[in-house]
Amino acid sequence: MYTVITKQIDHMIDRIENCEVLTDPWHHMFIPECIRPHDYRAFTEFEQAEQLIYNRDDLSERDQYSLGVDSGTQAEVRLYNKQMNKLFHTIADKFGLAKVQEEVSPTLNFWVDTNKLLIDDIHIDEFHDTKLCISAMIYLPKDLEQKDYGTLLYEYNGTDLNSHAFKDPECDFYHQSNPEHLDKWTLKRQIPFIPNSMFITVNNPNSWHQAPTNIREGDVRKSCMIRWKV
């Protein structure tokens, strides 16, 4: 799988450089055809791929397939890290994060979600172990039947996050909505969950979003999350 992924990076960079940063309700990007079309099937059928490690996340009711850091050859891993670092800086530059100088390798996980998914809160991607995080989520449906499974983007319209949201002591920002005050968030748009598209975000105090809560019984929602933590 290392080689399959690495071969896409230059194509992804070209697509990103030719797409604009959207600002409503906060800065993000939506990249159509982010994978070379003739390689897309290999991504949608990742369960059969080599070098992926399966893990069942019982806390979220999600099946996860992670790219193993020790499963590739030294040459494969070295090229993968080089290309992924180049992709990271392309995205960072696009979002005006030119001061970032580090070489950053991401985590890469394929996700399989169903209507049992327990991640349903409105939140921002705030983490204990990093201040800056770039997330690039590749949507992997087979057709347009799941168009309404995309990520939901919100705007906070309240005036008291201390009452309306939660914050872990290790975090700088409030990052999880209080379910008793969901009326303080306004749904602004839903990213279309269409084949071979990428949704890119940079975590910030205003980037409130939510995974879809409308996955139909018996259906699966497949995606690939690439996440760089600086």
pLDDT in tens, 145-176: 999 999 999 999 999 999 999 999 888 899 99
Counting Cβ atoms within 10 Å, is residue 13 exposed (0-12), middle (13-18) or buried (19+)?
Answer: middle
Residue 165: per-residue pLDDT: 97
Determine the Cα angle at 34 with ends 224 and 203, to 5°: 55
Domains and CATH numbers, the chain: 2-229 (2.60.120.620)
**What is the structure's pLDDT at 99?**
74
pTM for the structure as a whole: 0.95
Q: pLDDT at position 171, please?
A: 86
Residues 6+ apart with CB under 8 A from 70: none
pLDDT > 80? residue 98:
no
Band of the pLDDT at 188, cuts 50, 70, 90?
Answer: very high
Contact 104, 228 (CB under 8 A): yes
Nearest to 88 by CA among 67, 99, 76, 104: 104
Q: Coil, helix or strand for 121? A: coil
pLDDT at 211 over 80: yes
The secondary element (H helix, E strand) that includes residue 114 is none
C-alpha 98/C-alpha 53 separation (Å) is 34
- Residue of 226, 230, 229, 228 whose CA lies nearest to 31: 226
* Confidence at residue 184, expressed as pLDDT on a 0 to 100 scale: 97
Three-class SS state of 77: helix
